[in-house]
Chain A
Amino acid sequence: MEKKKYEELVNKHKPTETRGQNAFIAFVTGGIVGVIGQVLTECYTSWFDISTKDASTFMLVTLIFLASLFTALGFFDKWVTFCKCGLIIPITGFAHSMTSAGIEYRKEGPIFGLGSNIFKLAGSVILYGVVSAWFFGILRLIIMGG
């Protein structure tokens, strides 16, 4: 087959989703997760009579729990493939990466499977978060003195 014809064929069968569509879906789903967080925070503040700061911790734990559970049940992967960054950038992506790595590697044993691979994807977030926070913290102490 000639190269030109082959390229035409490839283009014909390429997935039709565009970058604009992806970006729009990510914007809407990410926004919905943000609104859920705000609703949960206000619910917890009024139900348990606690401060907004404590309620936001509860909210984050709830989101992590839900993302972990849905990943374990198996259908969160499909949501992530559809929403992409809409679910990866919120804290749900952190829990999703840990649970999916845990479930994938548990058959290799509790130590070398689950134990060493649980932070396979989330580890980079913690590593660069801690290093950058330490570096910027030093910087602020030097510049502003505390």
Chain B
Amino acid sequence: MIYLTSFIFCGLVCLIGQLILDNTKLSAGHITSIFVIVGSFLDTFSIYDQIINHVGAGALVPITSFGHSLIHGALAKASDMGIMGLLMGMFDLTASGITAAIVFTFIFTLFFRPKN
């Protein structure tokens, strides 16, 4: 069951992105940025947390979860530290993803050359 909900939710997010890409002049960069903003907006009032509870990892895979992780870490820190906590905890949860992407990119660019 959780596989089905994962499939449907992640598929629907991609479907919406594809519809925006095909029917407007926005590029893929615009759409990913918009989706990140939507993700952080949805988590402002903990809606995205509810979605993750119901849908499973299917809600963590789309880029919307990046925005959710950013604001989630910031708010968790802000509950201890007040308004400065927003700045201190911003990358708490996304640190692993960003670091992994940077490290893997660096390693692979050392070993591989462009194809054409």
The interface of chain A, by Cβ under 8 A from chain B, is 19, 22-23, 25-35, 37-41, 56-57, 59-61, 63-65, 68-69, 71-74, 84-86, 88-91, 93-95, 98-99, 102-104, 106-107, 114, 118, 121-122, 124-130, 132-134, 136-141, 146
Contact = CB atoms under 8 A, between A and B. Distances in A.
* 6 A-B pairs with least C-beta separation: A34-B10, A30-B14, A31-B11, A34-B58, A26-B18, A72-B108
B36 A125 contact: yes
B50 interface: no
Q: Please report whether the interface of chain A is mostly helix, strand, loop or mixed according to DSSP.
A: helix
Given A22-B22, A30-B11, A30-B14, A134 B105 contact: no
Interface residues of B, number: 68
Contacts, number: 237
B37 to A, nearest CB: 4
A39 B33 CA distance: 27
Nearest to A69: B108
Nearest to A83: B14
Given A19-B23, A35-B7, A137-B74, A64 B100 contact: yes
